[in-house]
Structure 1
Amino acid sequence: MIFRKLLPLIVFAFFVFSSTAQKHYQRFESIDVQHYKFEIHLNDTTNRIEGTTIVLVKFLKPAENVVFDLVNSDGQNKGMSVESVKSENKSLSFTHINNRLNIHLTKSTQANETLEFEIKYAGIPADGLVISENKYGDRTFFGDNWPDRAQYWLPTVDHPSDKATLEFLVYAPDHYEVVSNGYLVEKKQLKKDVKFTHWKEDVPLSTKLMVIGIADFVIGNQTKYKDIPVSSWIFPQSKKQGFENYKYGTDALAYFSDLIGPYSYEKLAHVQSKTRYGGMENASCIFYHENTGISNRSQESLFAHEVAHQWFGNSVTEQNWHHVWLSEGFATYLTHIYNQRFYGEEVFRERLKTDREWVIRYSKQNFAPIIDTTVTDYIRLLNANSYQKASWFLHMLREDLGDELFFNGLRKYYTDFQNSTALTDDFQEIMETVSAKDLTLFFKQWLRQPGHPVLDMNWEQEKENLKIRIQQAQADFLFQFPLEIEFVYENGTSEIRTLQIDKLELSPSFITKNKVKEVVLDPRVALLFEMRR
């Protein structure tokens, strides 16, 4: 996901989890959703939707009720009202309060028992399903669920840890085209100018990725990567520029498939949309902000970022929102690696420098670690820590391990957790296994403590003796890291030495044969740090 207003976003810290969040976690110990079947009826006269959702639930322990997330009425004609709940053709009693649909079972379930629930509901979504007009004034419908906005229009367990397969059965006016996750099962014309479209996804997804997109699309750029259909879905008024801007449909798909491992999904659709983000990586149908279809700037890096999410964020999903760096940091760094491969080292290093500047600026607004468990307003996790600093973490890990071990670790992490969920500790364990190194300090200081090294440096040379003084000027934490130092000589030559920094202040001496003109810290752009002077 690309967040369009990243820098001005300031993360507010909270020191306790809400009771609602605690109950959320308790629920995951009790149930595991296996499959959703969403039937949605849409129209052009009102924003009211009618839905029937069938949910297949596996109970992990005995239970007398089951709870789904579904936003109820806000008192201003928005929100969902539940009409009925059934299981095994029998009506069940329920309560729908505080955005929780609590279904009371007629008898206690047993561990490993599965039950299917049919939930009929209707209402005007306050969020989640964005019903609006695009930039051309045409009516559109777009799911936009991240971080926990699926519950505004779908009864779900709206948490990234609970993955399930799904299908959407959409009844909409017949002038629309409908795109969704997975593969197209059926599309047919019904009476009264209504079209029925059925999409099905056989790979389990988190609810943040379960969407539909409905508009007067023109479909083009249709091709295949191996057996995977790839296409672009563009508003008709953007057709010419849009298909040109979306021409990168298979480039990142092919590159990341070779670099990391097989693509998990049945197709890949690139969709011009009304998402609030620059891009939203919905599995197999990526939604891009509508302005991407008319921009004069290349969209290649945006495409690379969102396609990288199909591996990390979608297939391997962070188990809770506080570990979103496993999604956004990975996609950010993989985009840099994509550009390194196709546009060279200079572009790669310049983008790392730009990211480093973002991290430094952001740290002055909000001094917090990448994994910040105090945040309960999850959208505020979309910040420079989760994107740029997390990308820098991966870059420094790559520098520490070397390319072979680093990419072997990425591949193993993907293989071991494909179509599942993971936490930071899982990634650390994989990288330690591959490298046979203890990475505890590395992960702790860069991910779990705030800030970065702030360095003071001065030097003097007397004949062949070069003395350097390096001091960590940040007041909060000691960082330990290798620091590359380049000696630039007056005769035009240079050399790089590496110094292990493990104290707040070091004053090493070096023997040199030439007169030093300049001392440069981190010449290869390998370290996240701030130079004070």
Structure 2
Amino acid sequence: MGIHKDAASFANFDEVSIYHIDLDLKVNFEQKVIDGYAVLRMKCHKSTNKVILDSRDLSIKDVHYNGDSMPYKAVDHGVLGQSLNIDIPHTESGKEFDLVVYYCTSPTASALQFVDKELTADKNQPFLYSQCQAIHARSIIPCMDTPAIKQTYNARVQVPKGITCLMSAIGYGKDNRENDAKVKEWHVDGSYKDGLDYIFYDGYEAFLFKQPQRMPSYLFAIVAGDLEKRDISDRCAVWAEPSMVDKARWEFEDTEIMLKTAEELLGKYRWGRYDLIVLPPFFPFGGMENPCLTFVTPTIIAGDRSLTNVIAHEIAHSWTGNLVTNANWEHFWLNEGFTVFCERKIMGRIYGEGVRQFENICGWEDRMLPVINETFNPTHEFTKLCPCLNGIDPDDAYSTIPYEKGSALLLVLEQKLGDSARFEQFLRDYIDKFAGQSVVTDDWKQFLYAKYSDKKDVLDSIDWNGWLLEAGVPPNTPEFDDETLKDCRHLAKVWTDGTNEEVENLDTKVFNDLSSDMKVKVLDCIETSGKAFTGERFLKLFKKYDLENCGNCEVIFSFSLIALKSKYKPLVPFMIDFVTRQGRLKYVKPIFNKLFKWDEMRELAIAKFQENVPFMHPITAQVISKMI
């Protein structure tokens, strides 16, 4: 299969690759940096006298090759960071060696957010968390920051006493230099070469971690703060600040059920533990599938378990993404399209096939089509399933396209091939075949043709270029069960076309009894109807369903879009508060974008955004600033 080009990485991974990383790090909350050293265990694929790593604003102190100091040079490449060019003695193909890099991160590292204690939920301790996808691991570790390369890692991280540290790995407790069996077990695999020794700092505690499964750099993750743990099952737990942990434990009660259902669909879970960590509100994504420790936004804690499909999505990533990984970001749909497809399979098995069907049609209508036709345009490069990203920061191309267009392709295949059970078996075979590897679309497609050699005529009938390489709406639409959708559209039509009397006579219970997704669908149908929706009519909607007291962020987002369409000024302070007290890009980006385009509110929105930048994740701030 070979190693696939990655336009976002400078590393010479065709010549030499990292297969294991040992880290000894110290988290300094006062200076907002992490410093220490990384032992990169490497293997040559071709004879070479250089190693090129990916870096971003790292302060490099020294580099050692098998104990000897080596010359190095950092070369800037703009938005993609720096290449760290290291001269090494001529090394033959097949040889293994250690490269030790002593370094310190920048206080503005793009992957790290240091949160002052005043901004946490409990205000007891400062907080640190990382977000490395897509190419931000290079701002924490000098590495080959590409999903084409996978490695195991061990880490020893020191944090101030009173703070708990977690990582995307199995925790082995604290390194207290006592004869603790777990510490000894960690030291067997994690003992450093070249005479390197551990340093203990006064007032600090060292936490030990081991990730024995090979994983790409974007799944490296660290979090530190005032955290408590609540067990869900023998292998699942939730971590959060003390004031949130019990609420989170209740919200995510079904995690073990979802994990077992995913195993029935996709095969044995291979990562040991599946823990959740609830992050501060400024986390830019709904969830992040970091192995052993999924990061989730508190915006999915709705108080009624109505948004836990996010957990099903991140669980599915344990197979599609973490285990079988896109080799570069031009094939991101292999991670996300497969995961959305599997997420909905999981939800369908637990909550009924109707749930899956409804999610499929909402994904097509509400998450894919608007991005193609409004966010971008039908000819935009980023609406391709496999876009060209040469010289482009993958964050700039991020959208729902790989999620929903990719999932729709798999749905079309399942329907055309005509045997759902066989297609699910194909998914398991695909995962087993490529487990631990990084692949591109051609690898998957060749495997698909091999497994369905008896259905070659069906596969040949697929417009592959139209799906994979052409911009805009896919060449054909999956089959959808739209009965529930019709009910949602009918209710929305009363609101857009009905008289005041008809609106007044609507039974509030009908809307309140809908699932979260169905409520959102009603609101989205109102927003996208093309009909004028006055501020007066919006106020009736707002009051009738008591939307002001809704705890579901998906519903809040949807009725905010209606308010923006209606130019309903009294709700502007509410919306600005919503996009500044949480940083989830899914909500923040569209609302700020529409406020910026509203002439009367543009100046206020820009001022509020700029005022809030110090409290936002760097990724979020970067994305929003580009829209001004």
CA-CA distance at 1:296 after TM superposition: 5.0
CA distance in 1, matches of 2:10, 2:141: 20
Correspondence for 2:574: none
Which residue of 402, 418, 423 maps to 1:406?
Answer: 423
Amino acid in structure 1 at the alignment position of 2:144: V
CA-CA distance at 1:28 after TM superposition: 2.3
1:45–1:254: structure 2 CA closer, same or farther, 3 Å change rule?
same
Correspondence for 2:275: 269
Amino acid in structure 2 at the alignment position of 1:396: V
Amino acid in structure 2 at the alignment position of 1:122: C
CA contact (8 A) 1:252 1:308 kept: no
Corresponding residue SS for 2:285: coil
CA distance in 2, matches of 1:302, 1:60: 40
Gaps of 5+ in 2: 77-81, 177-199, 483-628
The answer on 1:361 being equivalent to 2:370 is yes
Corresponding residue SS for 2:154: strand
Corresponding residue SS for 2:466: helix
CA contact (8 A) 2:20 2:41 kept: yes
Which residue of 349, 354, 361 maps to 1:346?
Answer: 354
Once the two structures are superposed, the pairs formed by residues 364-379 of structure 1 within 5 Å of their partners are 364-365=373-374, 366-367=377-378, 368-374=383-389, 376-379=392-395
Correspondence for 2:252: 246
CA distance in 1, matches of 2:422, 2:31: 56
Amino acid in structure 1 at the alignment position of 2:233: T
CA contact (8 A) 1:242 1:292 kept: no
CA-CA distance at 1:152 after TM superposition: 0.8
Which residue of 251, 262, 270 maps to 1:256?
Answer: 262
Corresponding residue SS for 1:29: coil
1:21-46 Cα shifts (integer Å, max 9, x gaps) = 65947722111111111221013322
CA-CA distance at 1:299 after TM superposition: 3.5
CA contact (8 A) 2:11 2:52 kept: no
1:435-466 Cα shifts (integer Å, max 9, x gaps) = 2133355233322223336xxxxxxxxxxxxx
CA distance in 1, matches of 2:6, 2:408: 30
CA distance in 1, matches of 2:478, 2:96: 54
Amino acid in structure 2 at the alignment position of 1:207: S
The answer on 1:148 being equivalent to 2:154 is no
CA contact (8 A) 2:50 2:86 kept: yes
CA contact (8 A) 1:246 1:299 kept: no
The answer on 1:34 being equivalent to 2:7 is no
Gaps of 5+ in 1: 1-19, 73-79, 454-478, 487-533
CA-CA distance at 1:128 after TM superposition: 0.8
CA distance in 2, matches of 1:212, 1:480: 42
Corresponding residue SS for 1:131: strand
Corresponding residue SS for 1:360: helix
Corresponding residue SS for 1:400: helix
1:249–1:371: structure 2 CA closer, same or farther, 3 Å change rule?
same
Amino acid in structure 2 at the alignment position of 1:112: G
1:53–1:374: structure 2 CA closer, same or farther, 3 Å change rule?
closer
CA contact (8 A) 1:412 1:430 kept: no
The answer on 1:278 being equivalent to 2:286 is yes
CA contact (8 A) 1:316 1:420 kept: yes
Which residue of 106, 109, 112 maps to 1:124?
Answer: 106
Amino acid in structure 2 at the alignment position of 1:446: W
Corresponding residue SS for 2:406: helix
Amino acid in structure 2 at the alignment position of 1:343: Y
CA-CA distance at 1:158 after TM superposition: 0.4
Which residue of 34, 38, 49 maps to 1:53?
Answer: 38
Correspondence for 1:289: 297
Once the two structures are superposed, the pairs formed by residues 289-328 of structure 1 within 5 Å of their partners are 289-293=297-301, 297-328=305-336
Correspondence for 1:96: 74
1:193–1:480: structure 2 CA closer, same or farther, 3 Å change rule?
closer
Amino acid in structure 2 at the alignment position of 1:387: Y
The answer on 1:162 being equivalent to 2:177 is no
1:177–1:24: structure 2 CA closer, same or farther, 3 Å change rule?
closer
CA distance in 2, matches of 1:421, 1:221: 33
The answer on 1:446 being equivalent to 2:444 is no
TM-score in terms of structure 2 length: 0.65
1:123-157 Cα shifts (integer Å, max 9, x gaps) = 43422122124542441111210000011111110
Amino acid in structure 2 at the alignment position of 1:360: L
Which residue of 151, 158, 164 maps to 1:177?
Answer: 164
Structural RMSD (CA): 2.4
Correspondence for 2:449: 432
CA distance in 1, matches of 2:441, 2:29: 45
Amino acid in structure 2 at the alignment position of 1:89: G
Once the two structures are superposed, the pairs formed by residues 201-216 of structure 1 within 5 Å of their partners are 201-216=211-226
- Percentage identity across paired residues of the two chains: 22
CA contact (8 A) 1:406 1:431 kept: no
1:85–1:484: structure 2 CA closer, same or farther, 3 Å change rule?
closer
Amino acid in structure 1 at the alignment position of 2:146: H
1:447–1:82: structure 2 CA closer, same or farther, 3 Å change rule?
same
Amino acid in structure 2 at the alignment position of 1:253: L
CA-CA distance at 1:306 after TM superposition: 0.5
CA distance in 2, matches of 1:330, 1:23: 22
Once the two structures are superposed, the pairs formed by residues 442-521 of structure 1 within 5 Å of their partners are 442=462, 443-452=464-473, 479=475
CA contact (8 A) 1:248 1:303 kept: no
CA-CA distance at 1:186 after TM superposition: 4.0
Correspondence for 1:44: 29
TM-score in terms of structure 1 length: 0.76
CA-CA distance at 1:285 after TM superposition: 0.9
CA contact (8 A) 1:318 1:324 kept: yes
CA contact (8 A) 2:228 2:241 kept: yes
CA distance in 2, matches of 1:30, 1:276: 35
The farther-off stretch of 240-249 and 411-420 is 240-249
CA contact (8 A) 1:231 1:269 kept: yes
Q: How many residues align?
A: 430
Correspondence for 2:54: 69
CA contact (8 A) 1:272 1:293 kept: no
CA contact (8 A) 1:260 1:414 kept: yes
1:43–1:377: structure 2 CA closer, same or farther, 3 Å change rule?
closer
CA distance in 1, matches of 2:10, 2:83: 14
1:93–1:167: structure 2 CA closer, same or farther, 3 Å change rule?
same
Which residue of 391, 411, 428 maps to 1:395?
Answer: 411
CA distance in 2, matches of 1:257, 1:482: 26
